[in-house]
């Protein structure tokens, strides 16, 4: 008979939210993360990316306020760099994991089912773990938004961008990138760097370039104070409604329709200033059009656009952002997935991030429907980790 390991909390995902939840949960019991640490950041983000978030708002969370970027610098393993380069942030996450997450398993989770009053977790390596509760910190990658016409096309030349490694074979090819957000613009740049013969960015609205409002931009004392009043946390806008993002409990009590409007405005798609220098005026951008049909031919894909024109390409990269769906919770057994209540397109969560199945919690992107935009940003990891840990301890 197979030996089943027993732990208190299984944390599925080892990004900023997963690492922070595990650090807090391990204070009152055994908590183990599953999955490659910081996978989305390593595989999806460009290696030369500069984080837009402020140094003080890019901390992972450990009990007692430990594990901050400043503590990492004081440990002698790093120096302070602003803006924060992605490799620097990944090194910080490794340091945090070594110190505050005592149990981790790099294996992916293949299956989660209810068993023995808790959950039974089966990994891709075939190991089984029994836990009192599971916390899913899956990030955004299981929930890509795909336009209907492209979703209906079962052709490998239509690619959904989920990691940075899908560009190596684009040299000499004609490439269309669909999506107006940061992911779409980054994908167009990566295709260009892969020496594609041509790259075109196709967006149904327009590309919005974020202004140079980074916290590290030199300013006088008065202008810096005014900036901090207007932008208490980088990434949400515009003032003054961006302050709603900092109060997830207050956000949660708003009517759904108002929450949806605020989310849409606070998280309006756009591209980072550093990308503009490499893309604007370099890569052709077709704005105000969308793909209405795809014809797969031996010599390429023919994209029919809403303005009556068409494009013949060798590859179509879909980078249209993310939208929650129950299907994205594919690690859950079908009967468990069906028990997760969905309302207004989002999972129903209580104040401790628990779903309608008490043994199962969702943090990060799936919690955006209740707690707002903070659920997408590193800054939200502390709120989620503390709230989940309090519930687990009780």
Confidence of residue 304 (pLDDT cuts 50, 70, 90): very high
pLDDT of residue 2: 63
The secondary structure element, H or E, covering residue 228 is helix 221-230
Among 301, 318, 335, where does a domain finish? Answer: 318
Q: Do 49 and 167 share a structural domain?
A: no
Q: Do 37 and 167 share a structural domain?
A: no
Q: Does some domain include residue 67?
A: yes
pLDDT of residue 1: 45
Q: What is the pTM of this model?
A: 0.91
pLDDT of residue 227: 78
Could you say which DSSP state residue 206 is in? -
Strand residues in the chain grouped as ranges (E): 5-12, 31-34, 103-105, 109-115, 118-123, 128-136, 158-160, 174-178, 198-203, 285-287, 291-297, 300-305, 310-313, 315-318, 342-343, 346-347, 360-362
Q: Do 333 and 286 share a structural domain?
A: no
What CA–CA distance (Å, rounded) separates 176 from 158? 10
The residues with which 158 forms a beta bridge, in sequence order, are 316
The domain that holds 176 is classified in CATH as 3.50.50.60
Q: Does some domain include residue 227?
A: no
The string of pLDDT tens digits covering residues 163-175 is 666 688 999 999 9
The residues with which 11 forms a beta bridge, in sequence order, are 33, 135
Q: How many domains does the chain have?
A: 2
Q: Does some domain include residue 372?
A: yes
Q: Is 103 exposed, middle or buried (0-12, 13-18, 19+ CB in 10 A)?
A: middle
Q: Is the pLDDT assigned to residue 301 strictly greater than 70?
A: yes
pLDDT of residue 163: 67
Q: Do 183 and 69 share a structural domain?
A: no
Helices (runs of H) and strands (runs of E) counted in the chain = 13, 17
Q: Does some domain include residue 218?
A: no
Q: Does some domain include residue 24?
A: yes
Mean of pLDDT values over 158-167:
78
Q: Do 299 and 373 share a structural domain?
A: no
The string of pLDDT tens digits covering residues 97-143 is 999 999 999 999 999 999 999 999 999 999 999 999 999 999 999 99
The residues with which 247 forms a beta bridge, in sequence order, are none
Of residues 34, 223, 191, the one with CA closest to residue 127: 34
Q: Do 168 and 302 share a structural domain?
A: yes
Q: Does some domain include residue 265?
A: no
Q: Do 93 and 18 share a structural domain?
A: yes
Q: Do 332 and 299 share a structural domain?
A: no
What CA–CA distance (Å, rounded) separates 389 from 63? 10
Q: Do 387 and 312 share a structural domain?
A: no
Q: Name the residue range of residue 92's domain.
A: 5-141+322-393
Q: Does some domain include residue 249?
A: no
Q: Does some domain include residue 228?
A: no
Q: Do 203 and 163 share a structural domain?
A: yes
Contact call for residues 176 and 317 (beta carbons, < 8 A): yes
**327-347 in b/e burial notation, b at 16+ Cβ within 10 A?**
ebbebbbeebbeebeeeeebb
């Amino acid at each position: 008979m197979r030996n089943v390991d027993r732990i208190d909390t299984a944390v599925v995902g080892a990004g900023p939210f997963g690492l922070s939840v595990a650090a807090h949960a391990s204070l009152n019991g055994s908590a183990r993360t599953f999955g490659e640490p910081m996978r989305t950041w390593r595989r999806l983000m460009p290696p030369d990316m500069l984080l837009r978030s402020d140094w003080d708002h890019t901390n992972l969370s450990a009990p007692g306020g430990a594990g901050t970027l400043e503590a990492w610098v004081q440990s002698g393993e790093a120096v302070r760099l602003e803006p924060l380069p992605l490799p620097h942030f990944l090194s910080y996450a490794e340091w945090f994991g070594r110190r505050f997450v005592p149990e981790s398993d790099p294996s992916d989770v293949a299956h989660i089912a209810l068993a023995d009053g808790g959950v039974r977790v089966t990994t891709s390596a075939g190991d089984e773990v029994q836990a009192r509760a599971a916390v899913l910190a899956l990030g955004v990658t299981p929930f890509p938004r795909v336009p209907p016409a492209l979703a209906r096309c079962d052709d490998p030349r239509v690619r959904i961008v989920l990691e940075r490694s899908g560009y190596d074979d684009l040299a000499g090819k004609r490439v269309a990138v669909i999506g107006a957000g940061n992911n779409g613009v980054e994908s167009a740049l990566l295709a260009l760097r892969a020496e594609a013969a041509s790259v075109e960015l196709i967006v149904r609205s327009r590309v919005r370039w974020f202004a140079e409002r980074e916290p590290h931009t030199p300013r006088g004392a008065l202008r810096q104070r005014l900036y901090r009043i207007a932008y208490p946390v980088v990434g949400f806008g515009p003032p003054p409604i961006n302050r709603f993002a900092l109060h997830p409990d207050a956000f949660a009590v708003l009517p759904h329709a108002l929450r949806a409007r605020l989310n849409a405005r606070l998280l309006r798609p756009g591209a980072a200033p550093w990308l503009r220098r490499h893309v604007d005026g370099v890569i052709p951008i077709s704005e105000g059009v969308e793909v209405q049909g795809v014809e797969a031919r031996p010599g390429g894909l023919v994209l029919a656009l809403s303005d009556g024109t068409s494009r013949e390409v060798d590859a179509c990269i879909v980078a249209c952002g993310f939208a929650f769906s129950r299907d994205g919770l594919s690690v859950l057994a079908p009967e468990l997935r069906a028990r997760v209540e969905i309302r207004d397109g989002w999972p129903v969560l209580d104040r401790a991030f628990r779903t309608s199945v008490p043994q199962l919690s969702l943090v990060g992107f799936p919690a955006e429907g209740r707690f707002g935009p903070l659920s997408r940003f590193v800054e939200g990891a502390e709120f989620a980790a503390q709230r989940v840990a309090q519930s687990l301890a009780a």
